[in-house]
Amino acid sequence: MDVISVIRAKRDKQELTPEQIDWVIDAYTRGEVAHEQMSALAMAIFLNGMNRTEIARWTAAMIASGERMNFSTLARPTADKHSTGGVGDKITLPLAPLVAACGAAVPQLSGRGLGHTGGTLDKLESIPGWRALLSNAEMMDVLDRVGSVICAAGDGLAPADKKLYALRDVTGTVEAIPLIASSIMSKKIAEGTGSLVLDVKVGSGAFMKTIEDARELATTMVELGTDHGVRTSALLTDMSTPLGLTAGNALEVRESVEVLAGGGPADVVELTLALAREMLDAAGLKDADPAKALADGSAMDHWRRMIQAQGGDPDAPLPVAREQHTVNASSSGVLTTLDAYAVGISAWRLGAGRARKEDPVQAAAGIELHAKPGDEVKEGQPLLTLHTDTPEKLPYALEALDGGVLIAPPGTEFTPRPVVLDRIG
């Protein structure tokens, strides 16, 4: 077997054989296949695609590159959620303890933000003392005692994907649906959860800009999960405007706590409950009522226990940015556009995100929204507040918002997009 033959086969739109896929993933993980060679193969896959058989084998080969976790000793059924990433997407924070409060175990392996999309681990690290890195034994202990854990994936889980993910990010192949699907599902299947709900974002702030592409990705991932014995479903959800009223690490933690306390923005509450019901149904707990768990305080109790179990102080003050800048409405009328991508790029430039995996983030940086599309606004009314510890970045953050905030004349009719657009599985 040689890598040139594999690259040529996919370049020429041929179906890769199981042997070719197994070999190239293993050889790349071991360093026998060079980065530039795998870059060429990734671009060939991006351009020419893969069929279901190829994607399933590619995913299986990435799973086989590392260890697999096993939660069969837990007394609770396991359910996990994965989001394809967006702006203001803090749903994992209230969702994991909420589902745990309803009787499931939630082993939530999460990631960090890159570019305009926020990362769950970055958000939680704004809580003093909280630890993302847990050993497998520590993870099992927290799951057993609390019912939910949010932590980083260990180095032994799908190491082939770690190498390939970093390569895709710098070679223009991130959006390849076969590679997105196999990347997500190899980690989730290796994680060992019994059921999985996918939150596939659609819109300007998502990787999938159209409902058609999102549906293709969701269907591919649901099929992969089913083929590997994991009960899997997907919700296609709107990411044309940010979720909730905050985008940024500590800001989103604060808003998540508001949701757990029975308040919070309506769209965040709606999506949290929709995903919770999907997870509980998949775990065989369809009679559980997540709305009741939010109302009676049990979800908040699980949140506090989960944060404490990972070294965090749920009562500690969250970081506050040194500098704030308010953007006011330029005219009176109806706010029709608050573009998720523009807000995400602006928050990133303020310090809430990173350009490279090794870059630090500012815990307090981000953007508060004072209005959402469909709201009537008055000239001079605050629309956004920008938070940063590096005020010299404010002009670049404001530049990113150009064209992303549009106000129509008073009385303009506006029909909001629903939060949940479709369901697959």
Looking at the annotation, which residues are catalytic? Answer: 82, 161, 168, 183, 187
Cβ atoms within 10 Å of 327's Cβ, excluding its own: 17
Cα(286)–Cα(293) distance, integer angstroms: 14
> In which element (H, E) is residue 148 found?
strand 148-152
Cβ atoms within 10 Å of 53's Cβ, excluding its own: 14
State the DSSP code for 393.
G
Contact 333, 408 (CB under 8 A): yes
CB-neighbour burial class of residue 358 (10 A; exposed 0-12, middle 13-18, buried 19+): exposed
Secondary structure percentages of the chain, helix, strand, coil, to 5: 45, 15, 40
Residue 54 Cα distances to 58, 60, 178, 396, angstroms: 6, 10, 9, 43
Residue 302, SS3 per DSSP = helix
Contact 368, 245 (CB under 8 A): yes
Query: Residue 424: what residue type?
Result: I
Which string of b and e fits 171-181 if b means at least 16 CB within 10 Å? bebbebbbbbb
> In which element (H, E) is residue 335 found?
strand 333-338
Phi, psi values for residue 233, rounded to 5° = -140, 165
If you write DSSP's letter for every residue of 42-94 in order, what string do you get? HHHHHHH---HHHHHHHHHHHHHTS-----TTSSSPB-EEEE---SS--THHH
Cα(196)–Cα(406) distance, integer angstroms: 37
